[in-house]
Amino acid sequence: MILNQGYLIKRKSSARHVESYTMRLVDATEINEVMDLQHKVYEGLPNKQVLYKDTKFEMLDDLNNGAMIIGVYNSEERLISYRYISFPGYSKKNLGKDIHLDISELDKVVHLETTLVSPDYRGNRLQSLTLAKAIELIEPLDMKHLICTVSPYNLFSLYNIMSAGLNIKALKRKYASEDLDGMWRFILHKDMSKSFSVEHSELKMLKMDRIFEQRELIDKGYVGYNLIRDSQMIQYSLSQ
């Protein structure tokens, strides 16, 4: 099923040209294309801590449990971007537990998982376009909580996700393994059933990579609600 179609700009070296794209759901049989794009993006990252690499097993298991991968394909039918969303239910990986959601709310959680864009197609707002489409697909499903993780060192992803109304509710290490202590991640949340209000008398601002100062604020009940992209400052308010 085609979700969207349009045009985008491909950039390579100094050349630019316009080409068409198609947005559609990625089938489980196409998972190797997803893995190939993930590998390409990961290898090009100067800071590998920015991206947690999903395994093929994890993604296939999620797809069997209702997850969706929104893929963007270029004019040659090559995958150039994807957004992966899952429904963790009562599993131990549900991020609702990290922000202390009531147990009765956990089956209303949607995870906004990995979003990647091929370097040749950055600057086309594909993160924003796929997020808008993800929310459109989620709305009829009677879900309530959008939750995701973003690296404190990933300016553009954090800006995009906060611009969509998700707020920082926690900052902790995630994705620990035998080889890694885990990666620092903001945990962002949006309750789709109500709006967030700012307590203007209790505002704070911190640079996005000031890990420990932000953790102290969050522990005191502050919520990160806005990112000023140019200065990389996050605005915090006491939650209402």
pLDDT digits (tens, 9 = 90+) for 1-57: 899 999 999 877 677 889 999 999 999 999 999 999 999 999 999 999 999 999 999
Q: Which pLDDT does position 194 carry in this prediction?
A: 85
Q: Which pLDDT does position 15 carry in this prediction?
A: 76
Domains and CATH numbers, the chain: 2-151+184-191 (3.40.630.30)
Confidence at 195, pLDDT banded by 50, 70, 90: confident
- Compute the chain's Rg from CA coordinates: 18
Mean pLDDT of the 134-145 span: 93
Sheet arrangement for strand 109-117 = 2-12, 15-25, 68-73, 79-86, 109-117, 145-150, 183-191, 167-174, 222-228, 233-238, 203-207
pLDDT digits (tens, 9 = 90+) for 5-19: 999 998 776 778 899
Confidence at 198, pLDDT banded by 50, 70, 90: confident
Look at 21-25, 132-136, 192-196 and tell me which has the smallest mean pLDDT. Answer: 192-196
Q: Which pLDDT does position 218 carry in this prediction?
A: 95
Q: Which pLDDT does position 176 carry in this prediction?
A: 81
Confidence at 172, pLDDT banded by 50, 70, 90: very high
Q: Which pLDDT does position 202 carry in this prediction?
A: 79
Comparison of pLDDT for 6 and 201, the residue scoring more: 6
Q: Which pLDDT does position 127 carry in this prediction?
A: 93
Q: Could you tell me the pTM of the whole model?
A: 0.92
Question: How many Å apart are CA 206 and CA 204, to the nearest integer?
Answer: 7
pLDDT digits (tens, 9 = 90+) for 63-122: 999 999 999 999 999 999 999 999 999 999 999 999 999 999 999 999 999 999 999 999
Mean pLDDT of the 176-197 span: 86
Average pLDDT across the chain, whole number: 93
**Is residue 201 predicted with pLDDT exceeding 90?**
no
